[in-house]
């Protein structure tokens, strides 16, 4: 993609987009506790977006994870199924795809899909470096880049904080030299939150990735307010608890309030809970199915719950 302009879809440059966004800020989505309205806006295609605080670039609030779902090896039908998911993702207006060297063959699967789709211009590539010895970081990033077939990554995250002291200086240097656009750190399932908090307070990272869902809400206590205070974008992994949350909820009818926020599935309820938090930039659900992908992208449209409804959603789901 052209990394110097905000790509908000065919025919939209940054200036056009900003004009559209300023006119369409969703006041109804502004939780009561927020000091100022989060920059949740609708693009002309109707997808809700949030700005990356360090740059102002807009991202749709739903992205695509690839752990397990895209680890399909050389299985040709499975590779085509993943390509169909990626195609549907871009058709729906999606941009951010997240992966890691830890995810088996997910990186070559992404590369296969991007090549089949002739390198979609809207792509926002989010990768990770996952090696304890920082001296091996550059070679790993280069191998990842070759798997994806992209000229450079948009975002590089230190996976699970592994060797972060060694990796961050190199990533900042790559960013300064234009070989990356953003630097981040990832964690999941509440692991090493105290250390993550220390990094967020002391390092000039652009992104943090962490777990948040209707049942795992620890990040709401300190990390999400800190991200807002420090101007750090937030990617949310495991919005469905790797599917367990949806399996658990499937036994129950949708509550009446789901229709008030335009949700016709538990998946959309779970995603709208996550992306309505004002600190959250983008949730990254993973799926191997086009029908699920379309359902998930539907959560980036329409109304979001306010603070009172968010609290009720968490309470009601915990009580099920
Ligand atoms: N430390 C880290 O950096 C870290 C850790 C964990 C995860 N992550 C990232 O976060 C992403 C998401 O987390 P996750 O993969 O653990 O799990 P998740 O997104 O919470 O759940 C994925 C599961 O939900 C199912 N699913 C998706 N959409 C659905 C729908 N609409 N209806 C019913 N089922 C649906 C998928 O099955 P189907 O294939 O059948 O749709 C899949 O089994 C990962 O893929 C990865 O990119 C990062």
Q: List, for residues 278-315, the tens digit of each pLDDT value.
A: 999 999 999 999 999 999 999 999 999 999 999 999 99
Q: Could you tell me if the CB of 238 is within 6 A of ligand 1?
A: yes
Rounded CA-CA distance 103/39 in Å is 32
Nearest to 52 by CA among 176, 183, 189: 183
Of all helices (H) and strands (E), which one includes residue 129?
A: strand 124-129
For the chain, what is the mean pLDDT? Answer: 89
Q: Could you tell me if the CB of 207 is within 6 A of ligand 1?
A: no
Residue nearest to atom 22 of ligand 1 (CA): 242
Residue nearest to atom 19 of ligand 1 (CA): 285
Nearest to 314 by CA among 284, 278, 270, 280: 270
Contact (CB, 8 A) for 305 and 261:
yes
Which has the higher per-residue pLDDT, 191 or 5?
191
Architecture of domain 18-319: Alpha-Beta Barrel (3.20)
Per-residue pLDDT for 143 more than 60? yes
Pairing of strands 48-51, 58-60: antiparallel
Give me ligand 1 centre to Cα 244, in Å: 10
Rounded CA-CA distance 195/232 in Å is 16
Contact (CB, 8 A) for 70 and 110:
yes
What is the predicted pLDDT for the residue at 46? 80
Give me ligand 1 centre to Cα 69, in Å: 8
Give me ligand 1 centre to Cα 210, in Å: 13
Band the pLDDT of 190: cuts 50, 70, 90: confident
Q: Could you tell me if the CB of 49 is within 6 A of ligand 1?
A: no
Task: Report the DSSP beta bridge partners of residue 207.
Answer: 184, 233
Q: Of all atoms in ligand 1, which is nearest to the CA of residue 292?
A: 31
- The pTM of the full predicted model, rounded to 2 decimals, is 0.89
């Amino acid at each position: 993609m052209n990394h110097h302009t905000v790509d908000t879809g065919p025919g939209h440059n940054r200036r056009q987009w900003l004009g559209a966004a300023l006119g369409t800020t969703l006041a109804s989505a502004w939780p009561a506790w927020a000091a100022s309205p989060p920059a949740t806006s609708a693009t002309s295609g109707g997808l809700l977006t949030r700005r990356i605080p360090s740059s102002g670039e807009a991202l749709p609030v739903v992205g695509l994870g690839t752990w397990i779902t895209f680890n399909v090896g050389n299985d040709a039908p499975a590779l085509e199924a993943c390509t169909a998911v990626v195609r549907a993702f871009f058709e729906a207006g999606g941009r951010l795809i997240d992966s890691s060297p830890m995810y088996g063959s997910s990186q070559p699967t992404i590369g296969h899909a991007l090549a089949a789709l002739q390198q979609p211009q809207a792509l926002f590539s989010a990768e990770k470096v996952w090696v304890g010895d920082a001296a091996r970081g550059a070679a790993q990033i280069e191998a990842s880049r070759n798997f994806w077939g992209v000229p450079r990554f948009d975002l590089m995250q230190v996976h699970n904080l592994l060797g972060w002291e060694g990796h961050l200086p190199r990533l900042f240097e790559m960013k300064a030299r234009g070989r990356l656009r953003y630097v981040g750190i990832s964690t999941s399932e509440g692991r090493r939150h105290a250390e993550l908090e220390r990094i967020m307070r002391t390092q000039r990272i652009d992104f943090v990735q962490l777990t948040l869902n209707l049942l795992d809400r620890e990040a709401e206590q300190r990390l999400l307010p800190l991200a807002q205070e420090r101007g750090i974008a937030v990617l949310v992994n495991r919005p469905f608890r790797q599917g367990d949350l949806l399996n658990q909820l499937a036994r129950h009818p949708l509550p009446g309030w789901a229709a008030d926020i335009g949700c016709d599935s538990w998946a959309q309820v779970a995603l709208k809970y996550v992306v309505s938090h004002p600190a959250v930039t983008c949730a990254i659900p993973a799926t191997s199915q086009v029908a699920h992908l379309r359902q998930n992208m539907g959560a980036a449209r329409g109304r979001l719950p306010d603070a009172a409804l968010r609290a009720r959603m968490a309470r009601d789901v915990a009580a099920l």
